[in-house]
Structure 1
Amino acid sequence: MLFGALTLFFLPFFSGAYAANDWSVACKGECSYDIIDPARRANMKISGASSAVSDITPAGGWTILTCDAGKLVQDIRLVCHASGCEHLFEGQGAVDTLVRLPETCGSGAFARVAKIQVDNNQSLPSNIKSTLTQAGNVTSTVFILSVDVDFAAVNVSKTGPVSLSIEGYNFPVDNLNNSTSKRGLKTRNWTEFNSTDSVDLPSLKVDQTFPVLSASVDCNDFSASVSASFETKIDATVSIGLVVVGTVIPPAITEIAVFGGLVGDVLATLQLSASATGTVSTGEVSLYSVALGGIDFPGILSLGPTFTIYGDVRATLDATLDLAVDLAYSVTAKGYYPPATQTSLGSSTAANSTLTLSVLPDVTTTGHINASITPQLALGLTAFTDVKADVSLNFAGSLSSRLSLDASANATVGNSGKAATGSADGCFGIDAALSVYLAADGDLFGLIENSTTYQIYYNKWDLYKQCFTASGSTKRALPEAVVQRRDNSDSGLTCPASSSVTSLEQIIDQIIDAMEAAV
C-alpha cells in the first residue's frame, strides 16, 4: 500500500485547535476570526461599513434553531432573542450583509445573506422561549436565513467594499493579529522567518521503495527487460506561511505573500537492472503524494499543502548490467512568493554514496543513464471557491552516468560446482546535482499569472568519475556526463545482440573491483 510506509505527525489545521475569538461581542462593521494551537496560528480580519458586516451568533442577538455544520450554502432557521439582532437589517437591509456564523453552524467563519424571510412555523422549544426578551421590533420572531459564499453577487454600490486580511503559519509567530492590520503587508519583515529552524515543526518521514520503470521485449527464447526503482528515505520538517490582503466585497486579492520551507535528509538509491538493450524513458511520474495540514477559511481562502515525490529515469543501454547508486544529501531551503533574493535561500551537503555495478561477461558496452527524483512541497491556493493557483518548492535531485566498458569472463562447470574468472577495462562516471526552485502556476487576480519558475539554489558534484584497466591503473579521463530531464516518455527496447545467454552466465557478474578501489 502506497501510504503504508509514511510516518506523518502533521495534523489538520483545525484538529485540536480552538478559535481565540471574543464571542461575547457582536461583529458590527468589522470582525476577526482566529485559529490557534501550540504549533500553528491563523487570523482573518474583515472590515467595512457598519451595516455591511453583522453577526448571527448569540452575541448578535440570535439563537440558531437548525443549521448544518458542514455546509457553506444552506438555509438556517434562527430566532431573534434580543434587540441587538436588528443590526442585521440596518443600511441596505439583511440581504448581501456579511455575517459571522457560530462555530457549530456552517463550515466557514463568514457567509453572505442571500435571502431572509419570516418562517411560517413560529413554534419554539420551551427552553429557548424562556431566554427571549420583549424589547425590539423583531424579537421572538423566527426567520429562515439563506446563506452562501457568492460574494460576487453583492451589490457593492449599496454595501460598500469589505476589506480582508489573512495571516497564517504552521509555526508560532509573535504579534500575529497586528502584522497585516497595523503594519501592512509591504512592511512585513519576511527575513525573520530565517530563524524558524529552532521551532519544533512536525516531522515528515517516508521510507519506501518506489518502482519507476518496468519494460520488456519478447526475444526468440526469452524475455528481455529493463526495470528501475528508487529506494527512498526522507526525514524532513516542513514550514508554511501565508499573508493576504484584499477585499471580500468585491472578491479580490490585491497582495499576497506565500512562504514554504523544508529542512531534512534525503536518500534515494537508484536500482536499475537491464537485460534488454535500447532506449527507455519514463518521463516525470508521481511516485507518492500526501496532503499536509493547511490554512483554511472555507469560502474565502484556503492554503492546502501537498508533499509529492516525482521520479524520472531514462536509459540508453547496449548490454546487460545491474546498477545501484545512492543520491544522498542534506538540504535546507526556503522560498517566498513573490520571490526576493534576500529572503529565498538554500544550502545542501552531499552525503556518502555507495555504488554497486555488475555486468555480464564477454560484453563491450557503452551506455547512458539519467535519473532524477524530486520531492515537492506544493502550496495549493484557492480563493473564493473557484480561483486557484499553485506555488511549489521543488528539490530536483539528478543522477547522470556514462559507461564505457569492456568485460570478459569464462566459466566452467564440474561435479564439485562452478568457477569463474574475468577482467574489466573501461570508464565509468556519475554526476549528481540538486536544483531547488520555486514554481508558480495559475491565475490569482493577476498576482500569479501563467507559469513562472525561480531558481533558489543549485549544486553539482561528482559521485564517481574513474577510468581503469583490469589491473586497476588509471586511464584517460572520462568526459563529463550531462544532467538532463525529459518530460515525455518513450520506449525503444530491443533484444540483446546475443540471445544465447544461459542461466549459468547470468549468475557470473563481473564486479569492477578496480574502480571501487580507486574511489
Structure 2
Amino acid sequence: MVHSALLVAALLPIAAQAANDWNTPCFGECNWDITDGNGSGTLRLLGSQTGVSDLTTAAGWTILDCDPNVADQDIRLVCHDPDAGCDHVNQNGAEGTLVRLPTSCGSVPFALVTRMWVHQDQKIPASKRALIMRRDGSQPTVKGISLATDFAAVDPDVNGNVTLFLQGSSIPGVAGNFTVTPPTGVAAAKRGLFSWIGDTLKGLSEVHKNITGSSPINFEKDVPLFDQSFSCPQNGAVPAFSGEAKVDLNGKVDGTVSYGVAAAGSIIPPKLDEFGLFVGLDTTVTGTLGLDATLTGSISSGKIPLFETGIPGLDFPKILSIGPTFSVNAEATASLDANLNVDVDLAYTIAGAQLFFPPSSNPAGSYKPGDSNLKLSVSPNVTSHGQVAAHLIPSLAFGVDVLSGAAKATINLDVDASAGVDLSLSAVAEAATGTDGKSAGASFGGCVDVTTGLAVTAGADASLLSFFDKSTSVDLFTKTFDLFKKCFGDNPARRAYTGRAARAALMAKRDSVGCPSSLFGTAASVVEEAVPAGR
C-alpha cells in the first residue's frame, strides 16, 4: 500500500551519506537529520529560491545571540562571508522565508523569518570577533531577526509552497543510511512521489530482519481480576455456606518493538498528504487463567489497566512527533451455575511481525500458539452450562502530532490473547467421581470445549487524513485455536451440548453473582491434560 511503503526506506541500514550537509547552504532545498541518539530520520524541504534559505555558517552567517532551548525568539547575527550567500534570505524580502538554523540556535531545525532589521546592539563578543572581521578590518553590521514557527501564518502565494518529505526510524544511528531518498527539486517532488514509493516497496520483505536495536517491552504480574464472596443462608435442602467467585490471571509479556514512520505533504501551508507507520514486533505472551467458583450468575470485570510505560519517541521538532507507550490490560467474563475450578494457559509467540497502519495486505510474521496446560473440575451432580473467558491485551499506542497540532491522532495496536472454556454437563443421577473424561461415571456426561485466540487489531482515535480517520479499525491477524474438545458420558448427557448460541442466551438472563438454589456437590476432575502447541 502507498502509505506503508513510504517508510520502508527509513528502516534499511545500508551505507550512504547523511542527507544534511552543513558545508552546503540551503537555498530552495534543504535537508535535516536526527542525530540526538533518540531514533534517526531525515527531513527534506523543497521550495522556491525565495521560500527556503539558510542562517548557518554555510550561507555566510554567524549567530551571536540565540537561546538553544526556545523556538520563537529574536536573535542577533552577522554576515561574516557575503560571498557565501548571506543576501539570499532577502530575495523577495526576508519576511516569510523559511530558514535552516544551526544546532546551537533554537529548539527547532527550521523557523520562519517574520522581521529583519539593523540591531541597535552592535557589540560583537570578543570570542567571535576574530572570526567575523572583514579582510579590510571593518566590522560587519549586526542584524536582528525575529523567528517564529506559526507556519500557518505565511501566505503561500508570496513565496510558494514548501513541500516536505520525512522518513524516520526508532533505531538510533541510521540517519542517512536510507536506500531510497526523497525527490529533488519542486517539479520532481510533484511527479516523483509515486516512483519513490515504488522503490521503497522493493525492500519491504528485508526491512525487519535487517534492523537491530529494538526497544524492550516487558511485563509480568499476577492479577486478581474478580473476587466476590457471600455468606449464603440455608435454602431448603441447601445448607448455609460461604460461597466465592474468584478469577486470577498470571500474565507475562516479553518482547521487543521497533517502528518507523514516513510522511509527505507541505510545511507551507501546513498540510499532510501521506502518512504511514511501520511496527516491527517480536514477543511472547503467556499467562494462566484461574477460576474458582461456588456461586452462580455472571462475572464481567471490564477492561482492567495493569501496566503502562513510555517507549523512546521520535521527534522532528514542530514538524512531526511520535510518542509511543506500551500498556497491558486484562479482562475476564464468566457465566456460572456449578462448583467450578478451571486453570488454562495462554501461550503465544509472535515472531518477525511487520505491521503497517494504514494497513497493507498480508502482514508478515508468524503467530503461533505454544504448549498449554488445562485443568478442569466441576460438580458432577448438576446440569451446567458454563462459560469462562479471559483476555490479556498488550497494547502499543503511538501519539502523532503533525505540524504543531495541525493534525493529531493516536494509533493503537492491540494484541489480544484470550482463553475460553465452554462447558455443557448433564447429570442423570449421582455420578461417580472421575479423574478424566473416560473414568467419569456413565450418568455424568457432557462436553467441554477449550479455545484460545489471538487477535491483532489497529485503529486510530482521531482524524489525521481523509483515508485515516477515527472510524478506521482493521484486523491485522485473527485466529482461534481449538485447544481441547471432548465429549464424555452417556448419550443423553452428550446431547446436552447444545451449542454456544443456546448457552449464551441462557447465560444472558443472569446479571449478577449470587447463591445457588440447589446443592452443589464436590468438584470432580473432568480433565487434566498438557496440550502441545498446534493441537
| TM-score, shorter chain, exceeding 0.5 | yes
Which of 419, 422, 433 does residue 402 from structure 1 map onto?
422
| Aligned equivalent of 1:453, options 449, 473, 495 | 473
Output aligned runs, 1:77-476, within 5 Å: 77-83=76-82, 84=84, 86-87=86-87, 89-134=89-134, 140-170=140-170, 176=178, 178-181=180-183, 184=193, 185-190=196-201, 192-199=203-210, 200-202=212-214, 204-209=216-221, 211=223, 213-216=225-228, 219=231, 226-332=245-351, 333-341=353-361, 344-358=363-377, 365-386=384-405, 387-405=407-425, 426-469=446-489, 475=494
Structure 1 pair 261–89 and aligned structure 2 pair: CA distance change class (3 A) = closer
Q: What is the root-mean-square deviation in Å for CA atoms of aligned residues?
A: 4.0
Separation (CA, whole Å) in 1 of partners of 2:494 and 2:531: 12
Asked if structure 2 preserves the Cα contact closer than 8 Å seen for 1:256 and 1:447, the reply is no
Asked if 1 retains the 8 angstrom alpha-carbon contact of 2:373 and 2:529, the reply is no
Corresponding residue number in structure 2 for 1:21 = 20
- Cα distance change on mapping 1:255 and 1:429 into 2, 3 Å: same
8 Å contact kept, 1:209–1:231: yes
**Is the alpha carbon distance of 1:149 and 1:224 closer, same or farther for their aligned partners in structure 2, counting shifts above 3 Å?**
farther
Q: Which whole-Å deviations, capped at 9, do the CAs of 1:463-517 have from their partners, x for residues lacking one?
A: 22223459xxx956945557xx9xxxxx94333227999xxx9xxx745165549
User: How far apart are residue 433 of structure 1 and its match?
Assistant: 1.7
- Greater shift, 146-155 or 176-185, is seen at 176-185
What is the deviation of 1:329? 1.5
Residues 216 and 493 of structure 1 are in contact (CA less than 8 Å); yes or no, is this contact kept in structure 2?
no
Q: Distance in 2 between matches of 1:89 and 1:331?
A: 53
Greater strand fraction, Structure 1 or Structure 2: 1
Q: 1:85–1:274: structure 2 CA closer, same or farther, 3 Å change rule?
A: farther
For the Cα contact (< 8 Å) 2:34–2:175, is it kept in 1?
no
Alpha-carbon deviation of 1:93? 2.2
Q: Distance in 2 between matches of 1:245 and 1:142?
A: 37
Change over 3 Å in CA distance of 1:476–1:362 after alignment to 2: closer
Equivalent position SS for 2:421: strand
Q: Check conservation: 1:277, 1:494, Cα contact below 8 A.
A: yes
Contact 1:409 1:510 in 2 (8 A): no
Residue 497 of structure 1 aligns with which residue? 516
Mapped to 1, the partners of 2:451 and 2:252 lie a distance apart of 20
Give the secondary-structure state (helix, strand or coil) at the position aligned to 1:152. Answer: helix
- Other structure's SS at 2:261 match: strand
Q: How far did residue 177 of structure 1 move?
A: 6.5
CA apart distance, 1:259: 1.8
More displaced 10-residue stretch of structure 1: 217-226 or 291-300: 217-226
**Secondary structure in structure 1 of the residue aligned to 2:472:** strand
Contact map agreement 2:425 2:446 (CA 8 A) in 1: yes
Normalised TM-score (structure 2):
0.76
1:218-248 CA-partner distances (Å, limit 9, x unpaired): 5468985544343222232323222211111
Count matched residues: 475
Structure 1 unpaired stretches of 5+: 1-17, 411-421, 486-490
**TM-score of the superposed pair, with normalisation by structure 1:** 0.78
Aligned partner letter, 1:47: L
1:388 Cα shift? 1.0
Task: Identify which range, 73-82 or 373-382, moves more after superposition.
Answer: 73-82
Residues 426-480 of structure 1 show CA distances to partners (whole Å, capped at 9, x for unaligned) of 533211122223324422242412321233322221122223459xxx9569455
Q: Unpaired runs of 5+ in structure 2?
A: 1-16, 185-191, 234-240, 433-439, 505-509
Aligned residues with identical type, % of pairs:
34
Distance 1:149 1:224 in 2: 65
Q: Name whichever of 352-361 and 160-169 sits farther off.
A: 352-361
Distance 1:277 1:252 in 2: 57
**Secondary structure of the structure 2 residue equivalent to 1:450:** coil
The answer to whether the 8 Å contact 2:152/2:269 transfers is: yes
TM-superposed deviation, 1:320 = 4.6
Counterpart Cα distance in 1 of 2:528 and 2:424: 13
How far off its partner does 1:369 sit? 1.5
* Cα contact 1:210–1:287 (8 A) shared by 2: no
Q: Structure 1 residues 142 and 469 mapped into 2: Cα distance closer, same or farther (>3 Å)? A: farther
What is the distance in 1 between the residues matched to 2:256 and 2:300? 32
The AA in structure 2 aligned to 1:330 is: T
Kindly indicate whether the alpha-carbon contact (under 8 Å) linking 2:383 and 2:425 is maintained by their aligned counterparts in 1.
yes
Distance change in 2, residues 1:375/1:191 (3 Å): farther
Cα 1:124–1:225 change in 2 (3 A) is farther
Find the residue that maps to 1:390 and give its secondary structure.
strand
DSSP-derived class of the 1:181 partner: coil
Q: Distance in 2 between matches of 1:518 and 1:94?
A: 73
In 2, Cα distance between equivalents of 1:65 and 1:174? 30
* Alpha-carbon contact 1:346-1:457 (below 8 Å) kept: no
CA contact (8 A) 2:326 2:395 kept: yes
Measure the CA separation in 1 of the matches of 2:126 and 2:176: 46
Shift of residue 276 of structure 1? 4.2
For residues 315 and 79 of structure 1, what CA distance do their matches in structure 2 show? 74
Aligned counterparts of 2:38 and 2:111: Cα–Cα separation in 1: 28
Match in the other structure for 2:436: none
User: Helix, strand or coil for the counterpart of 1:443?
Assistant: coil
Contact kept in structure 1, 2:245 and 2:292, CA below 8 Å: yes
Greater relative CO, 1 or 2 (CA 8 Å, sep 6+): 2
